[in-house]
Amino acid sequence: MAPGLEGTDASLGASLCGLLAFVALLLLPGLLVVRAPWPAVPFLSLSFWALSWGWLFGASRQRFLHAALVGFLLVALLRLLKPLDLRAPRGPTLLVLAAAAFPLSAFFCWPLCPGAEMSFHSLGVRLLVWRDGLPLTYEPLVSLRPFGAHAPALAALAADVSLLSGLAPAKAVLLAHQGAMGLLIVALHAFLVRGLAPTVAPPVAALGAVLTVALARVPAAFSAFGDGGPALALAFAMATAAWLGPNGSRSAAVAAGLFLGASALAQPALAFTALVVLGLRLRPWRDGDGRIRLGLAAGLAVALAAPFLLRLVGALSLAEVEAAVPGPRQPDGCGRPEVGPPSSDWRGCSWRRSRALPSIGSTAGTRCVPDRRSRPRSHASPRKRGP
């Protein structure tokens, strides 16, 4: 592809190449992890790709993708030389795989992903592709900074697909969003399998995962947190819960920390909620091993997501954090950001502070609340009454 034309093609050929690139990102490097169960493979892979964006140190993302995939593919070929204990998938596994792949059918039917927030994700993908790396701000497209304070996981994965295949940003966002819906089914299935009795776990877990996601109005149930990011964050959070159970191992806790870090990049509020719930579930004040595994997972998640979390913490003030948390609030006329769907004036709103930032508690865009005290007042003199 000619230089400067990456991420501009929306044809059928580019869509097929984009789908193949997404499948490659799902499988590698998760397949290289020894004794990793099949539900963990896509989460291991996508966690690596999402978190690696913050550790490039200015290197070319496209070259990194090509070099990493070639290296992982060579290692995978070496593993094929050794006999693998592979078994044919059973009925429950096939049901989960079919249900997870079904949302991808919209990738060939829709021109782009619906929703106001998806346009903002497409803008982020375009910037990532243009810069071939992690930019500092959203300029020159939007006067917002810093880049990454708005949950970047969905845009980062879509940018990887676009850089590998040349797919247009809007189509890449659609592919990543629909893939997140399928991953949620896989994660819920893994959680139910590990929580139910072994005799009834596979069929009941498969049917329960498919019906739950189909009937729970996902992601409409999380619309207060945004359109696309919460589904991806919830999928990673469910995978964290599956591998950070009361009877888990420390190696599983390392994988759970990787999943939790990726969840924090997709939706920090949901990731923090998942960490609190898992802490209550493990009861670290009673179980010493549970305390070690919880600390290992939480510490690894914070360390791996640190480049983006530092941008987030450094950009937010206390008032902006309060405004970013979904829930009822009363306007006080002080001109600070209010969470809501992106409106037609979000590009041109002016801020009293020196920086502008999309919200974290909600992955929706921000709009500026006008300052009542800054409105001009008329100083016309009163009329004189006649005698």
9: DSSP letter? B
Which tokens sit at 213? 């996601």
pLDDT number for residue 58 = 84
Burial (CB count <10 Å: 0-12, 13-18, 19+), residue 136: exposed
**pTM, rounded to two decimals:** 0.76
Identify any residues that bridge with 164 across adjacent strands, giving them in sequence order.
none
Which of 220, 276, 209 lies closest to 244, judged by CA? Answer: 276
Average pLDDT score, the chain? 77
pLDDT tens per residue, range 191-234:
988 877 666 677 888 888 888 777 666 555 555 555 567 889 99
The structure tokens listed for 94 are 């096939």
Burial of 43 (0-12, 13-18, 19+ CB in 10 A): buried
- pLDDT of residue 64 exceeding 90, the answer is yes
Between 136 and 68, residue with greater pLDDT: 68
pLDDT of residue 117: 77
Q: Which has more confidence, 48 or 111?
A: 48
Q: Hey, is 338 helix, strand or coil?
A: strand
Distance, in Å, from the CA atom of 144 to the CA atom of 167, rounded to the nearest integer, reads 25
- Measured between alpha carbons, how far is 94 from 109 in angstroms, rounded to an integer? 24
Output the pLDDT for position 120.
Answer: 86
For the cut 70, the answer to whether the pLDDT of residue 273 exceeds it is yes
Give the separation between CA 302 and CA 216, rounded to whole angstroms.
30
Residues, the chain, total? 387
- What whole-number distance in Å separates Cα of residue 209 and Cα of residue 243? 17
Residue 337: helix, strand or coil by DSSP?
Answer: strand
**Beta carbons of 296 and 332 less than 8 angstroms apart:** no
Tell me the C-alpha distance between 147 and 137, whole Å: 5
